[in-house]
Chain A
Amino acid sequence: MPAPAPSFRDPAGGCCLFNQRVLRFVNAGAIPEFEAFLQTNCARQFIAGKKFVSTRRLNEDETAALRAAPELQPVFNAQPIGAVFEHERIPFPGYPHEWPPEMLWAAGRLTLELARAALADGFGLKDATPHNILFRGSEPVFIDALSFERRHPGDPIWKPHAQFVRTFLLPLMAHRRWNLPPADIFLTHRDGLEPEEMYRWCGPLERFKPRTLSLVSIPTWLSRRADPDDQGIYRPHLLANPEKARFILESLFKRLERTLDSLRPAAQNQSAWSDYMATHSYDDPAFAAKEAFVDEALREFQPARVLDAGANTGHFSALAAQAGAAVVAVDLDAACAGAIWRRAREQKLNLLPLVVNLARPSPALGWRNGECPSFLDRATGAFDGVLMLALIHHLLVTERIPLEEILRLAYDVTNSLLVIELVEPKDEMFRRLTRGREHLHAALDVKMFEQACAPYFEIVRSLALQGTQRRMYCLKRKGDGH
């Protein structure tokens, strides 16, 4: 069976993953507009700039071959498909419930850029959700190519305005006001936060602050007073003067851009982990030895795709990216993931940061758990190298994950290389975490660790970091682990 369509809400067509290809099925009635949009200067410019997913229409033979595929019968039978298009595949999809606030901001910026550019070509963006966007490294790419339709020249209203507010502005506002990570919001709220919900969270004075007044309070008061059965509210109110309608929309996009920029996450966002690189327990020679060890492993194995698990602020992710790998860096701390994103953008690194807790990885989400696959579904077998640096003591002690389980996870995720740092129970950080439970980990030492690795990995080399209770391992995945 093909993966369920991630964009089945759009009556103009759907999308699915089939044999590693991203296919878009477009209904007959929507094809002219879709193709006309792809020919616009806006689409061509954004595709050339790699900000819009590249798309090609399949020819009749290719479409006929797909029609014959039994796995695609449900898709073809569900709606009258007029044509099939194929999109480029984004290497590792990360979803809004895994983004740090910085990435949500960047996705919002791209959404507004596209909406404004499409307006100049006579098209309108018909939905404005972060789910329209994936990231290629640290750069957002608009993937829902069917989200554009020809707009009526006299229409001064942008229907997705409320959705843009719900899914971009209010989550960023909640982050700025209450330090609530947008990733947490999107885990439970596909369509973001309703103004009414935010209104309840705000205190009486907060409700009258200019930004809150405009985005939260006034919409809430108006919706309370409006007649919910009055369908006239939703009818288009077309203006006779198209120039005026466009002026109004231009002003709206400019206002939204200003509001979005005012909610841009601060670069100095702090958390318990974001200053780890300045406060860690290694002295300079030990840290340099660790860095050299990782660098040597990366140069020897030359992994094309690397997962840095527990990446913190991305020091070693950047090292892997500089060695030529496409890196996915995961950390449970949104401030750390945000710092990685800023670093990746500044240094133009092929580095995708995601807010993921390996002990509680993102579940599959959406209708029948089919719209966003779980993190482990996406990660299994997807990497040639995995870095687990200064991580296992957190999993062993804080999360109480058995050592063998940690190694099995690494075995499932990597196809080749694992660089792992053994932190022994005598280590200062390890002891801080155990808090009187040292007896639970008394048996963990080099010998036990190497025995645990043996079913899954060959030890290529190891290095004790002088002056610490830590040892680096470069491991090669065995062909068939337990």
Chain B
Amino acid sequence: MIFAYIDPGLGALIWQSAVAGVVGFLFYLKKSRRWIVNVFRKMFGRGPISPGAGVEISPPTVKAKIDAK
């Protein structure tokens, strides 16, 4: 159920959407970089880098901290 009720603004919302588009493009760039790095690592006999290494999807989350304990 959606209870969003605040004023999302007009110009600020359009601007956020535009920036989201640019950042979305960066997402693919970073993903591509990770893929290329992994190809080279495989060529030189090293394991692939972890999925989160090239694209920082999540910060050190609360969940991760709890799990670590």
On A, residues with C-beta under 8 Å from B are 9-12, 29-30, 33, 41-42, 44-46, 116-117, 119-121, 126-129, 149, 156-163, 165-166, 191, 195-196, 214, 218-224, 226, 228, 233-234, 237, 239, 243-244, 246-248, 250-252
B10 at interface, CB cutoff 8 A: yes
Contact digits for B9-42, partner A, Cβ 8 Å, 1 yes 0 no: 1111111110110011011100000000000000
Taken together as a complex, chains A and B put the C-alpha atoms of A42 and B14 apart, in Å, by 30
B62 at interface, CB cutoff 8 A: yes
B44 at interface, CB cutoff 8 A: no
Check B61 against A117 for contact (C-beta < 8 Å). Answer: yes
Name the contact of A120 in the complex, choosing from B17, B20, B58 (C-beta under 8 A).
B58
Task: Jot down 28 A-B pairs with beta carbons below 8 A, ordered by A.
Answer: A10-B5, A41-B61, A42-B62, A45-B62, A46-B62, A117-B61, A120-B59, A120-B63, A121-B62, A126-B3, A160-B6, A160-B8, A161-B12, A161-B13, A191-B7, A195-B9, A218-B15, A220-B11, A222-B10, A223-B9, A223-B14, A226-B10, A226-B11, A247-B27, A248-B20, A250-B56, A250-B57, A250-B59
Taken together as a complex, chains A and B put the C-alpha atoms of A163 and B13 apart, in Å, by 10
Name the contact of A234 in the complex, choosing from B5, B13, B57, B62 (C-beta under 8 A).
B13
Check A157 against B17 for contact (C-beta < 8 Å). Answer: yes
B53 at interface, CB cutoff 8 A: no
B43 at interface, CB cutoff 8 A: no
Other A-B pairs, 17, CB within 8 Å; known A33-B1, A223-B11: A10-B5, A44-B66, A159-B4, A159-B8, A159-B13, A196-B11, A219-B15, A220-B11, A244-B24, A244-B27, A247-B55, A247-B56, A248-B23, A248-B24, A250-B57, A251-B26, A252-B20
Name the contact of B11 in the complex, choosing from A33, A159, A195 (C-beta under 8 A).
A195
Check A166 against B4 for contact (C-beta < 8 Å). Answer: no
Check A157 against B14 for contact (C-beta < 8 Å). Answer: no
Q: How many B residues, CB 8 Å from partner?
A: 34
Check B23 against A149 for contact (C-beta < 8 Å). Answer: no
Given contacts A166-B9, A222-B10, A222-B11, contact A30 B57 (CB under 8 A): no
Interface of A (DSSP majority class): helix
Shortest 5 CB-CB contacts between residues of A and residues of B: A162-B9, A223-B11, A219-B11, A162-B12, A222-B11
With a cutoff of 8 Å between Cβ atoms, the chain A residues found around residue B1 in the complex are: 12, 29-30, 33, 149
Taken together as a complex, chains A and B put the C-alpha atoms of A237 and B14 apart, in Å, by 12
Taken together as a complex, chains A and B put the C-alpha atoms of A30 and B13 apart, in Å, by 26
With a cutoff of 8 Å between Cβ atoms, the chain A residues found around residue B66 in the complex are: 41, 44-45
A91 to chain B, nearest CB (A): 27
With a cutoff of 8 Å between Cβ atoms, the chain A residues found around residue B2 in the complex are: 149
Name the contact of B27 in the complex, choosing from A45, A218, A248 (C-beta under 8 A).
A248
Determine the residue in chain A with the shortest Cβ distance to B61.
Answer: A120
With a cutoff of 8 Å between Cβ atoms, the chain A residues found around residue B61 in the complex are: 41, 117, 120
A201 to chain B, nearest CB (A): 16
With a cutoff of 8 Å between Cβ atoms, the chain A residues found around residue B19 in the complex are: 252
Given contacts A121-B63, A244-B24, A250-B58, contact A10 B3 (CB under 8 A): yes
With a cutoff of 8 Å between Cβ atoms, the chain B residues found around residue A220 in the complex are: 11
Taken together as a complex, chains A and B put the C-alpha atoms of A233 and B7 apart, in Å, by 13
